[in-house]
Structure 1
Amino acid sequence: MKIAIEAQRIFRINKHGMDFVALETIRELQKNDIENEYYILVAPGKDHCLKESLNFHILEIKCPSYPLWEQVALPMAIRKIKPDILHCTSNTAPLCCSVPLVLTLHDIIFLEKRIHNNKSLYQNIGWYYRRFIVPRILTKCKQIITVSQFECNRIRETLHLPQKQIIAIHNGFSDHFYPIEETYKITQKYIPSKKYLFFLGNTDPKKNTSRTLKAYSIYIKQSPTPPLPLLIADLKEETIDQILKQENIEEIKPMLHYPGYITHTDLPAIYNGAQTFLYTSLRESFGIPILEAMACGTPVITSNTSAIPEVAGKGAIMVDPHDPLAIAAQLLKLEQNLSYRNQQIQYGLERVKLFSWRQTARQLLKVYQAIH
């Protein structure tokens, strides 16, 4: 087969969830599939994280905006390549496509009622773009892939899709996430303390930042030992200030460290250095950071909502993300109960053995073969 894969944003430096799913899956296909010919379609960027090989070709397509890139430049490239399949990896696809289409639809959060308005202009534009495009391309897709059984059922029921048109293929996690002892050389770039708590948040309301910071303020007050500082990724100071004022917890600011974006190569050290990882989202279609932290031997406090239980498993620490007291109680328990802490570390290390990018790529290849 001749397979085209849209991976527009994998060369950008500040990659996020969907970018890594596409990148890691493509890497595994490149390692293990020598029979088919691949064309990886990307936008120019500084992080050339994927190299060409005998049957893997990388085509950089320049275009001034994401919608123009996807709706004009990508179809033009497809007409030249003439592949047997086009796989679009990030929720949307061209409205006009001349070849069989496979779509990875990570979630349909953009079709659900918004809890709060997102303060990020970039994310707001993307939200409206997906709301317009996705309903119009679904009937054109030979196969729709999503990342969890929870999301598969939700998409099927919400959009009234045929049973066979959508399937779930779990994500994996990168193999550079594992327990390491020496972390401070890297973690000191982001936080001076050798011991800390870690929270991966952003401006998206689903990340539940306000309640998580409220829980942290309760932990500070109730900890019988000097409380640990909190490292927060992906949040600017002005956003943090607004939340602290809103929650009336401005006094905790000296305990917070907010370096902004943390590079993916530094994340293994960040997870390993953390005493606990907080992933207290209101809504996730999968939750790769849960696996990354578990693979590093770091206890995880996460939510009992959406697809998270499917990923974290029955033995994980799962709380009501709407309840700051419940989050704080688990922080305190992990701090004070060593056997409980060790139990969670061992559980996580076993749990992650169920997930891998190799397994993801193998299932994806079966989808390509079934269509062809």
Structure 2
Amino acid sequence: MEIDYINGLRSNEIFAMSKYQSEIHSRLDNIILNRIEYPDISRVIGINKIVEYLGYPFIVKKKVIEDNIKHVTRQDLAFLLELIDLKKTIVTCHDIIPIAYYNTRNPIWKLNAKGLRKAEKIITVSEFSKKDISKYIKYPEEQIEIIPPAVDHNLYYPNRSKAALKKYRIKETEKVVLYVGAEEPRKNVQLLINSFSKLKNRIPEVKLLKVGMPNYIGVREKLLKQIESLNLQKDVIFTGYVSESELAEIYNAVDLFVFPSLYEGFGMPPLEAMACGTPVITSNTSSLPEVVGDAAIVVNPHVADKLVEEMYQLLTDDGLKKEMIRKGLKRSKMFNWDESARKTLRVYKEL
């Protein structure tokens, strides 16, 4: 079976959506992917997006094969279905954050919504996202297939060592709180920094390590000003993008993972942290309780003092920490890439 794999920007960087596709398709031995991508033209923010909107539709139209299933791998490429007459279409829609959370009036997202409605099948990652797609896009629930992400247990597993922290000049005696992700407003990093400042009053020897790129214009500057106002310049460390192997080492080196996001279609980092034997605190909103079950501490992501208290408890109560680690390891094993691949193959065959 050959699939027209409409994947957008060609990139070697691994992030949530690209990892989802690569993990699944690496397990589909009998599937041939006709990759339809556009080259990385510039590192200047916005240039590649211009290519995506103005040039990519012509690339797709030229390279699709009529009888193939057309798999659009991201929701923000769904506008292609509105611009090009494509048959036998699947769109993987991880979330509809711009519509459901930000209430965007962006004309591109109006096109994306129309394109999603034209898909013959939508794959999404959680029951929460399925309901949001049905509610906001007015797409039939019976045509939405839930295929959740998973954890690569050959990469993310308990291998506890603080060696990865030496690069960031963190002492072995210091406690480390980790956050992995972007810095856009819904990620709630500002509240995490405020909470961390209060935590430091109770546990002086603690650092906050932030992994990932900003991915949102102007937000890093605001966070740096916040950090300076709280006198945390030496205590909040930004790593930037790291490879997956280094990320696994970092998960294994820290004491606590905190993911206070206000809205997620799924949220893979909490599962990856659990798989490495790191206790997790996350939000009680959107899909996150569905993802973590009873294996993480869930908190109201608007209440800084509650987050401070839960961080303090997990960093000082060894019994609680061991119990959450045990639950986390068990929970992470429930998410399996082989099963996600089997479900994806079934969707292809049905179409």
Q: Which category describes the TM-score, using the shorter chain as reference length?
A: 0.7 to 0.9
Aligned to 2:311: 331
Taking structure 1 as reference, are residues 335 and 288 closer, same or farther at Cα in structure 2, changes over 3 Å only? same
Q: 1:242 to 1:319 in 2, by over 3 A?
A: same
Contact 2:294-2:327 at 8 Å conserved across structures: no
Question: Please, which runs of 5 or more residues in structure 1 have no aligned partner?
Answer: 47-61, 116-123
Q: What residue is the counterpart of 1:139 in the other structure? A: 117
Q: Establish whether residue 178 from structure 1 lines up as the match of residue 184 from structure 2.
A: no
**Deviation of the 1:130 alpha carbon:** 4.7
Match of 1:86 among 70, 80, 88: 70
Q: Which one of 286, 298, 306 corresponds to residue 266 of structure 2?
A: 286
Specify the alignment match of 2:44 in structure 1: none
Q: CA RMSD in A?
A: 2.6
CA contact (8 A) 2:227 2:236 kept: no
Contact 1:193 1:229 in 2 (8 A): no
Q: Take 2:337 and 2:293, find their aligned partners in 1: how far apart are those partners? A: 18
- Measured in 1, the distance between the counterparts of 2:275 and 2:264 equals 19
Q: Deviations over 1:179-209 (max 9, x none)?
A: 113451x433344333522112423111101
Residue 26 of structure 2 corresponds to residue 42 of structure 1: no
Are the aligned partners of 1:149 and 1:168 in contact in 2 as well (CA < 8 Å)? yes
Where in structure 2 are the equivalents of 1:286-325 lying within 5 Å?
286-325=266-305
The 3 A distance-change label for structure 1 pair 268 and 129 is farther
Query: CA deviation digits over 1:24-68, x for unaligned, max 9?
Result: 1111223xxx2x43323334469xxxxxxxxxxxxxxx9971223
Q: Counterpart of 2:6?
A: 6
Q: 1:200-279 to 2 correspondence within 5 Å?
A: 200-223=180-203, 226-234=204-212, 239-240=219-220, 242-243=222-223, 245-246=225-226, 249-279=229-259
CA deviations 1:104-139 (Å, max 9, x no partner) are: 111111113539xxxxxxxx9xx9465132122123
Whether the 8 Å CA contact 2:117–2:137 is kept in 1: the answer is no
Q: Which residue of 144, 167, 178 maps to 2:145?
A: 167
Q: Tell me if the contact between 2:100 and 2:136 (Cα under 8 Å) persists in the aligned partners.
A: no
Aligned partner of 2:33: which letter? Y
- Find the counterpart in structure 1 of residue 92 from structure 2: 104
TM-score for the superposition, normalised by structure 1: 0.82
For residues 350 and 192 of structure 2, the distance between their equivalents in structure 1, rounded to whole angstroms, comes to: 44
Tell me the SS of whatever aligns to 1:7.
strand
Query: What amino acid does structure 1 have at the position aligned with 2:18?
Result: D
Q: Look up the SS of the partner of 2:333 in the other structure.
A: helix
Selected match of 2:62 from 50, 73, 76: 76
Provide the residue aligned with 1:118 in structure 2: none
C-alpha distance in 2 between matches for 1:98 and 1:241: 42
Question: Contact 1:287/1:308 (CA < 8 Å) preserved in 2?
Answer: yes
Match in the other structure for 2:14: 15
Residue-by-residue CA offset, 1:234-263 (whole Å, 9 max, x unaligned): 356x84552364588421222111122222
Q: What amino acid is aligned across from residue 190 of structure 2 in structure 1?
A: S
CA contact (8 A) 1:3 1:83 kept: no
TM-score, normalised by the number of residues in structure 2: 0.87
- The 3 A distance-change label for structure 1 pair 312 and 130 is farther
Letter paired with 1:86: K
Cα distance change on mapping 1:264 and 1:39 into 2, 3 Å? same
Q: What is the distance in 2 between the residues matched to 1:308 and 1:328?
A: 19
SS in structure 2 of the partner of residue 203 of structure 1: coil
The whole-number CA distance in structure 2 between the counterparts of 1:161 and 1:241 is: 39
Aligned to 1:157: 135
Answer yes or no: is the 8 Å Cα contact 1:244–1:250 preserved in 2. Answer: no
How far the C-alpha of 1:358 sits from its partner, in A, is 1.1
Give 1:151 deviation, angstroms: 0.8
What amino acid maps onto 1:4 in structure 2? D
Q: Aligned letter for 2:72?
A: C
Residue 73 of structure 1 aligns to a residue in which SS? Answer: helix
- What is the count of residue pairs matched by the alignment? 335
What does the per-residue CA deviation read over 1:3-32, in whole Å, with 9 as the maximum and x for residues that have no partner?
A: 2222334x52433211111111111223xx
Contact 1:75 1:96 in 2 (8 A): yes
From 346, 355, 366, the equivalent of 2:335 is: 355
Partner-residue secondary structure (3-state), 1:354: coil
Residues 86 and 102, structure 1, Cα contact 8 Å, conserved in 2 = yes
Q: Judge conservation of contact 1:210–1:247 (CA < 8 Å) in 2.
A: no
- Provide the rounded CA distance (Å) in 2 between the counterparts of 1:206 and 1:89: 23
Letter in 2 for 1:100: K
Contact 2:267 2:288 in 1 (8 A): yes
Partner in structure 1 of residue 324 of structure 2: 344
Q: Distance in 2 between matches of 1:164 and 1:67?
A: 30
1:67 aligns with 2:53: yes
Give the superposition deviation at 1:214.
Answer: 0.6
Q: Distance in 2 between matches of 1:129 and 1:74?
A: 21
Q: Which amino acid aligns with 2:73?
A: T
Give the gaps of 5 or more residues in structure 2. 42-47
